[in-house]
C-alpha cells in the first residue's frame, strides 16, 4: 500500500515509521522544511522516542520512507491518508481551534484521488469527522464519501517516548462512515499493526470497530477525560486532607485496596497534549457536563492554590528568590505542553517574587528562551516548588538549596528525613513537616 501521513511530529513520524516498517510505501508531508530535511537524512528530528532513530536509519536509506512539503507529491495515488495534525484549544474560551486541521484537510483534498481511505487520528470533538471534515473534502475534491473515498476516525492512543510499544499494547479503535469504509479501515490497520496478546481484555486485542465516527471520537475523549476527572477528585481529597492533618496518600492506598476504587494520584499540575486539552474538546460538544468542567477548573487551579499557601506561610513573597524545579509537564520528557511551570511561575511573579527554573532536560539557554532565569542546584533560594517528578529531585536535601525557608513538594517525591528542620509542605500530606518545623 502507498500511505501518506500528514504532519510528521512526535506522533505522526513514529506512525509513518510503523507503516513503513510493516511494508507500506510511505511518504510523509509536513509544513516544516527543516523537519522534512532531517527525516530525509535519516536523522531523528527530536530526541526521546524509543527506537525511532534506529528505524529511520534503516527505512529511509532503503527507500521505504521519505518526506516532503508538497501535498501534490504526497497525496495523488495514495491508498490511505493518515492525518495527525495538531488541534489546539483556546485558553480563554476553551473552544477548539481548527485552523491547522482545516488547512491540512483543504490541502490534501485538492489532490486526493478516487479509492483513498482517509483516517483522522488527531483527537476531535464528537461529530467533527461527519459534520466538518467529510463535507469539506467532498466540496473541494468533488468526490463522495463511501463511493469515491472512505473516511474513518481512528484515534491515536499512544504516549510520546513509547509510541511503538503502545501501538502493540492497545486496541486500535475505528469508527467509519459506512460498511465499506469500515472494511477498508480494518484492512489498512491490520496490515500495518501487530498486537500483543492481552488476557485482561474482554475480546482479543486488535482492531476494534465502534460502529460510527461519533462513538470512536467519544471513546478517545472519554478515556482521557476520565483521567482528568479522577485526578481532579484526587486533588480535591488532597487539598482537604492537607487542611485537616490527614495523609491523603495513605488514604488513597487504603481505598484502592478495594477492587472498585481506582483513585489516581494528586499533583500540582496536569500537563501534556492530552489530559488538559481533551476534556475541553468534550465540553465543546457537551457544554452542560458540569463534572468535567469542575474537574478541569480545579486541576488548573492547583498551582495558584499552592503558591497562595506559600504566601500564607512565608508572609510575603516580594523579592524572595523562588525556584520551580521542573519545566517539563511530566518526568522523563523534554516537553512543556501545558506544563504546570507556566501557571506556577506566573503566580509567583504576580506576588513580586524573583523566579528561577531548573530542569535537567533543558540548557540555560533554552530556559532563558522561555523567559525564565536558569537555576543551578547549590545556589541560594528562599522558596522551592517541585513541579515535575523528575527522579533527579527525589534525593534532594536542604543543602542543595542553601537558605531555603520553605519547600513545596507538588509531587510527593521528597524524603522527609532529608528536610528535617526545613518547613516542607507536600500536596495532600496534612501530616507533613511544615507545622512541626515551625512550632
d(CA 273, CA 403): 36
- Whether 64 is catalytic is no
- Whether 220 is catalytic is yes
Predicted structure pTM score: 0.91
Report, at the CATH architecture level, how domain 2-211 is classified. 3-Layer(aba) Sandwich (3.40)
Whether the pLDDT of residue 22 is over 90: the answer is yes
Closest CA to 197 of 217, 173, 170, 178: 170
d(CA 214, CA 14): 26
Confidence of residue 437 (pLDDT cuts 50, 70, 90): very low
d(CA 217, CA 351): 42
d(CA 69, CA 16): 15
> Is residue 247 within 8 Å of 266, Cβ to Cβ?
no
Tell me the pLDDT of the chain averaged across its residues.
Answer: 96
Query: Which pLDDT value is given to residue 93?
Result: 87
Portions of the chain given CATH number 3.40.50.720: 2-211, 278-438
Query: Which pLDDT value is given to residue 273?
Result: 87
Whether the pLDDT of residue 431 is over 80: the answer is no
d(CA 63, CA 60): 5
Pairing label, strands 88-89, 96-97: antiparallel
Please tell us whether the domain made up of 278-438 is placed in CATH 3.40.50.720: yes
Whether the pLDDT of residue 250 is over 90: the answer is yes
Mean predicted confidence (pLDDT) in 140-150: 98
| Angle between the N-to-C axes of helices 341-350 and 290-314, in degrees from 0 to 180, rounded to the nearest 10 | 50
Q: Where are the alpha helices (DSSP H) in 95-142?
A: 99-109, 128, 134-141
The x, y and z cell numbers of residue 132, run together, are 466538518
Three-state secondary structure call for residue 414: coil
Query: Which pLDDT value is given to residue 434?
Result: 54
Query: Which pLDDT value is given to residue 435?
Result: 41
d(CA 276, CA 273): 7
**Residue 130 phi, psi dihedral angles, 5° rounding:** -70, -40
Closest CA to 423 of 413, 433, 431: 433
- Choose the catalytic residue: 10, 55, 274, 321: 274
Angle at 325 between CA 323 and CA 327, to 5 degrees: 115
Whether the pLDDT of residue 418 is over 60: the answer is yes
Render the burial of 334-354: b for 16+ CB within 10 Å, e for the rest.
bbbbbbbbbbbbebbeebebb
Query: Which pLDDT value is given to residue 117?
Result: 98
Confidence of residue 4 (pLDDT cuts 50, 70, 90): very high
Closest CA to 9 of 47, 41, 35, 37: 35
- Choose the catalytic residue: 10, 55, 172, 220: 220
Query: Which pLDDT value is given to residue 92?
Result: 82
Amino acid at each position: 500500500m502507498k500511505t501518506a501521513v500528514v504532519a510528521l511530529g512526535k506522533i505522526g513520524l513514529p506512525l509513518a515509521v510503523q507503516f513503513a516498517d510493516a511494508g507500506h510505501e510511505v511518504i510523509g508531508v509536513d509544513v516544516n522544511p527543516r523537519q522534512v530535511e532531517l527525516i530525509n537524512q535519516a536523522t531523528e528530528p527530536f530526541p526521546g522516542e524509543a527506537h525511532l532513530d534506529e528505524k529511520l536509519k534503516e527505512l529511509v536509506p532503503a527507500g521505504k520512507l521519505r518526506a516532503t512539503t508538497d501535498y501534490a507529491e504526497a497525496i495523488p495515488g495514495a491508498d490511505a491518508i493518515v492525518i495527525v495534525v495538531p488541534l489546539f484549544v483556546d485558553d480563554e474560551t476553551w473552544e477548539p481551534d481548527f485552523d491547522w486541521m482545516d488547512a491540512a484537510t483543504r490541502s490534501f483534498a485538492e489532490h486526493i484521488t478516487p479509492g483513498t481511505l482517509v483516517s483522522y487520528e488527531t483527537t476531535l470533538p464528537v461529530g467533527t469527522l461527519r459534520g466538518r471534515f467529510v463535507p469539506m473534502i467532498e466540496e473541494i475534491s468533488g468526490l463522495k464519501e463511501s463511493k469515491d473515498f472512505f473516511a474513518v476516525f481512528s484515534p491515536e492512543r499512544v504516549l510520546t517516548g513509547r509510541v511503538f510499544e503502545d501501538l502493540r499494547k492497545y486496541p486500535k479503535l475505528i469508527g467509519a462512515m459506512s460498511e465499506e469504509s469500515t472494511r477498508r479501515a480494518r484492512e489498512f490497520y491490520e496490515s500495518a499493526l501487530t498486537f500483543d496478546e492481552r488476557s485482561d481484555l474482554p475480546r482479543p486485542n486488535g482492531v476494534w470497530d465502534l460502529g460510527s465516527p461519533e462513538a470512536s471520537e467519544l471513546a478517545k475523549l472519554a478515556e482521557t477525560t476520565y483521567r482528568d476527572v479522577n485526578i481532579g477528585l484526587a486533588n480535591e481529597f488532597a487539598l482537604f486532607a492537607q487542611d485537616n492533618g490527614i495523609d491523603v496518600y495513605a488514604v488513597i492506598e487504603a481505598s484502592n485496596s478495594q477492587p472498585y476504587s481506582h483513585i489516581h494520584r494528586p499533583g500540582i499540575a496536569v500537563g501534556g497534549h492530552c489530559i488538559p486539552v481533551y476534556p475541553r474538546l468534550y465540553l465543546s460538544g457537551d457544554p452542560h457536563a458540569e463534572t468535567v468542567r469542575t474537574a478541569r477548573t480545579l486541576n488548573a487551579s492547583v498551582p495558584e492554590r499552592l503558591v497562595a499557601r506559600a504566601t500564607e506561610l512565608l508572609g510575603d513573597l516580594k523579592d524572595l528568590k523562588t525556584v520551580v524545579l521542573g519545566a517539563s509537564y511530566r518526568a522523563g520528557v523534554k516537553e512543556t505542553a501545558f506544563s504546570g511551570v507556566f501557571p506556577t511561575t506566573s503566580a509567583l511573579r504576580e506576588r513580586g517574587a524573583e523566579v528561577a527554573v531548573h530542569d535537567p532536560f533543558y540548557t540555560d539557554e533554552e530556559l532563558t528562551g522561555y523567559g525564565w532565569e536558569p537555576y543551578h542546584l547549590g545556589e541560594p533560594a528562599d522558596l522551592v516548588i517541585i513541579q515535575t517528578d523528575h527522579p533527579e529531585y527525589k534525593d534532594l536535601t536542604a543543602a542543595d538549596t542553601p537558605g531555603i525557608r520553605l519547600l513545596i513538594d507538588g509531587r510527593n517525591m521528597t524524603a522527609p528525613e532529608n528536610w528535617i528542620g526545613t518547613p516542607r509542605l507536600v500536596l495532600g500530606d496534612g501530616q507533613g513537616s511544615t507545622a512541626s518545623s515551625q512550632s
